[in-house]
Amino acid sequence: MMASRGYDMTPTMYSPDGRIYQVEYAIETVKRGTLAIGVLSKEGVIMAVEEKPRTLQSTDVTQKIFQVDYHIGVAAAGYIPDARVQVDSARFFSQGNRMTYDESVEVATVAKHLADQAHQFTQYGGVRPNGVSMIIAGVDQKGESIYVTDPSGTYVQFAAIAIGAGSDDVNAFLEKNYKDDLSLEDAAALAIAAIKLKAEQKEGVNDIKMAKISSESKIFEKVSEADLQKYSQTASKFVP
């Protein structure tokens, strides 16, 4: 750690071995966050997160899944206040695109915008990188798509992805079980099975929140607890 002193005080300075420590620290913050998962299906997209509410906390409001536009949602892992700021930026950007061009913005365009915003915080002194990664999922003119951004400003497209604590093992699980022809319900079941792989609470769905966007409606919808229970019953077929 002593070798990094000086180089880890600002995101504008490379260490002698070509590292930006502030960005690495932000990525470590993401790895300490609870799981967030995105799964692509032939019928739409699924976003799911693990949330661990306190005993007296209201669970009606999802803290880690956000709606950006009618057809785009975001699931976040890491420092959630940073996610809220980025989501607000994405909402302004999306509505500005609609007003300027009279059409809905593409998912890839929103992902690039958020990645550009994150990258700016790695270039100036007096700021810190955003300690959050986000899954941007939606259905646009080009079809269904899922992107992931990270604190460095990188954005990458995936068919299925997990971010947060234990994501390496969960991604290995998704690689093994994901198929291109999944229905939306099977994608939801796979997301639940993936979260339970690392969750402290293996039974029930009290710690899981989910949203979906179907290819037919192209509308962001939160998944009800009753539907979560139904999807959970079929998640067993993905359990190793």
> Token pair 């990270």 is at which residue?
150
The answer to whether 48 and 208 have CB atoms below 8 angstroms apart is: yes
pTM of the model: 0.92
Domain count, the chain: 1
Phi, psi for residue 186 in degrees, rounded to 5: -65, -35
Question: What is the three-state SS of 158-179?
Answer: ECEEEECCCHHHHHHHHHHHCC
Instruction: Give me the pLDDT at residue 35, please.
Output: 94
* Residues facing 211 on adjacent strands: 47, 222
**Could you tell me the CATH number of the domain that includes residue 108?**
3.60.20.10
Instruction: Give me the pLDDT at residue 200, please.
Output: 65
- Domain range for 53: 43-238
> Taking CA 224 as the corner, what is the angle to CA 76 and CA 39, rounded to the nearest 5 degrees?
45
Question: Residue 161, Cα to own-chain centre: how many angstroms?
Answer: 8
State how far the Cα of 186 lies from the Cα of 237, in Å rounded to an integer: 10
Instruction: Give me the pLDDT at residue 1, please.
Output: 43
The answer to whether 49 and 64 have CB atoms below 8 angstroms apart is: yes
Q: pLDDT digit of tens for each residue in the chain (240 aa)? A: 445 567 777 778 888 888 888 899 999 999 999 999 999 999 999 999 998 877 777 777 788 999 999 999 999 999 999 999 999 999 999 999 999 999 999 999 999 999 999 999 998 878 889 999 999 999 999 999 999 999 999 999 999 999 999 999 999 999 999 999 999 999 999 999 999 887 766 676 888 999 999 999 999 999 998 999 999 988 877 776
H helix intervals, the chain: 21-31, 80-101, 107-120, 167-177, 184-198, 225-234
> Taking CA 178 as the corner, what is the angle to CA 32 and CA 79, rounded to the nearest 5 degrees?
20
Phi, psi for residue 82 in degrees, rounded to 5: -65, -35
Instruction: Give me the pLDDT at residue 201, please.
Output: 61
187 within domain boundaries = yes
Instruction: Give me the pLDDT at residue 198, please.
Output: 77
54 within domain boundaries = yes
